[in-house]
């Protein structure tokens, strides 16, 4: 018998990707808009750094907190990008942001405590919290409020039943919504005053298309910040991310990380450090998302999608299924079977209202996106 803690929902985007991969293995031309994975390779400087390390031959454990040179470079990144001073001693390199969330939840909360998250939201938040014996307190947001979880809404939930923490993603997955700087500051200040641990998911920083993103560290030293080399830096499979922790939690996270992961892969850490010097190459990749975003904005309404979330950042469109197409799960299944285009049903992100929505990723190249939308248009003709 499996444990009760393992009874979490599937990560449906990964299930869709698995099916798309099986179809591709049978020789079918499948275009995946299902997962948030850049089509671009890792930066050339990162690949060169990894190749040099392979030539050296020895790839080993590092400290559980990560290579000191990478931690120092991450700290410098905060000074350069946000004007924030971060002590490298507060930086922990993680096995992707996924490990960062698990370590943050384990270090900051006790079993049974409630942690507020937005719905729709990234499903792994909910699933990891439940697997660790924590209680996700989902606060519904929608098109009427710009899909933003505000300090006012958080305060109301905390008054109804206290929460020990809150996790805010900006830009958000699946909606691409940015939390405005003023609202982010209100959230952080409220949490500091109320004794609520603030966790800031900043993995889509660098991928914004209007107002520049802000780090929660601009307003307080108390938040836990989680980031990753997967999205802007195009290094999903390298499994390397980082956290900035308040000083009081560094040793706790280090102790847990020593036993759960030992360390993030050393070669990935070396490659990740090189990525900070690949800005021109990465900005060229970002420009493909700018073009793809424009295509999405123009084409989705023509295909019958509505209530499209603000595509302020990241590389997703979250939209209501066209009228007459039934549930999002059935619609996504038909699109995959008949059009050979993989998209993710909204049930992944919102357990109550998700069957009305789908998420489409535009992290692919522009030609593939246009072909995918053309196929969907033909399939609905």
8 band by pLDDT with thresholds 50, 70 and 90:
confident
4-42+280-380 CATH fold: 3.90.1150
Tokens of 112: 């049974």
Query: What are 208-236's pLDDT values in tens digits?
Result: 998 899 999 999 999 999 999 999 999 99
For residue 226, with 0-12 CB atoms within 10 Å meaning exposed, 13-18 middle and 19 or more buried, which class applies? buried
Task: Give me the chain's average pLDDT, please.
Answer: 95
* Range(s) within the chain of domains with CATH label 3.90.1150.10: 4-42+280-380
298: enclosing H helix or E strand? helix 279-302
Q: What is the rounded distance in angstroms from the CA atom of residue 208 to the CA atom of residue 199?
A: 20
At residue 121, φ and ψ (nearest 5 deg) are -160, 175
Output the DSSP codes for 144-178. Answer: GGTT---HHHHHHHHHHS--SEEEEESS-TTT-PP
* Range(s) within the chain of domains with CATH label 3.40.640.10: 60-278
For the beta sheet containing 224-228, the strands, ordered from the edge strand earlier in sequence to the opposite edge, are 91-94, 241-244, 224-228, 197-201, 165-169, 114-119, 135-140
Output the DSSP codes for 96-127. Answer: HHHHHHHHHHHHH--TT-EEEEEES--HHHHH
Lowest mean pLDDT segment, chosen from 142-146, 176-180, 324-328, 352-356? 142-146
pTM: 0.95
60-278 CATH fold: 3.40.640
Q: What is the rounded distance in angstroms from the CA atom of residue 205 to the CA atom of residue 207?
A: 5
Q: What is the rounded distance in angstroms from the CA atom of residue 112 to the CA atom of residue 128?
A: 13
């Amino acid at each position: 018998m499996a444990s009760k803690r393992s009874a979490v929902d599937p990560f449906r985007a990964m299930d869709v990707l698995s099916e798309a991969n099986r179809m591709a293995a049978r020789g079918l031309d499948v275009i995946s808009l299902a997962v948030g994975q850049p089509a671009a390779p890792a930066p050339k400087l990162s690949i060169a750094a990894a190749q040099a390390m392979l030539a050296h031959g020895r790839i080993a454990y590092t400290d559980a907190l990560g290579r000191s040179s990478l931690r120092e470079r991450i700290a410098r990144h905060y000074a350069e990008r946000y004007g924030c001073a971060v002590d490298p001693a507060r930086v922990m390199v993680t096995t992707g942001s996924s490990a960062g969330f698990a370590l943050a939840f384990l270090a900051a909360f006790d079993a049974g405590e409630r942690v507020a998250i937005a719905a729709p939201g990234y499903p792994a938040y909910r699933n990891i919290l439940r697997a660790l014996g924590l209680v996700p307190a989902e606060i519904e947001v929608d098109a009427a409020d710009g899909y933003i979880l505000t300090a006012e809404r958080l305060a109301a939930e905390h008054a109804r039943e206290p929460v020990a923490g809150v996790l805010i993603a900006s830009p958000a997955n699946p909606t691409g919504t940015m939390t405005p700087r003023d609202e982010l500051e209100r959230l952080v200040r409220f949490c500091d005053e109320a004794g609520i641990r603030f966790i800031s998911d900043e993995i889509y920083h660098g991928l914004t298309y209007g107002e520049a993103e802000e780090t929660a560290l601009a307003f307080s030293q108390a938040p836990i910040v989680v980031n990753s080399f997967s999205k802007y830096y195009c290094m999903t499979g390298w499994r390397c991310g980082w956290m900035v922790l308040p000083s009081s939690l560094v040793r706790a996270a280090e102790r847990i990380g020593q036993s759960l992961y030992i360390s993030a892969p050393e070669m990935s850490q070396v490659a990740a450090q090189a990525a900070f010097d690949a800005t021109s190459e990465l900005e060229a990749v970002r420009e493909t998302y700018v073009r793809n975003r424009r295509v999405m904005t123009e084409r989705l309404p023509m295909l019958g999608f509505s209530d499209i979330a603000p595509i302020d950042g990241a590389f997703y469109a979250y939209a209501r299924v066209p009228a007459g197409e039934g549930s999002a799960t059935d619609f996504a299944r038909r699109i995959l079977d008949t059009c050979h285009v993989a998209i993710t049903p909204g049930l992944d992100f919102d357990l109550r209202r998700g069957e009305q929505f789908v998420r489409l990723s535009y992290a692919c190249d522009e030609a593939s996106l246009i072909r995918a939308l053309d196929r969907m248009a033909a399939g609905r003709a």
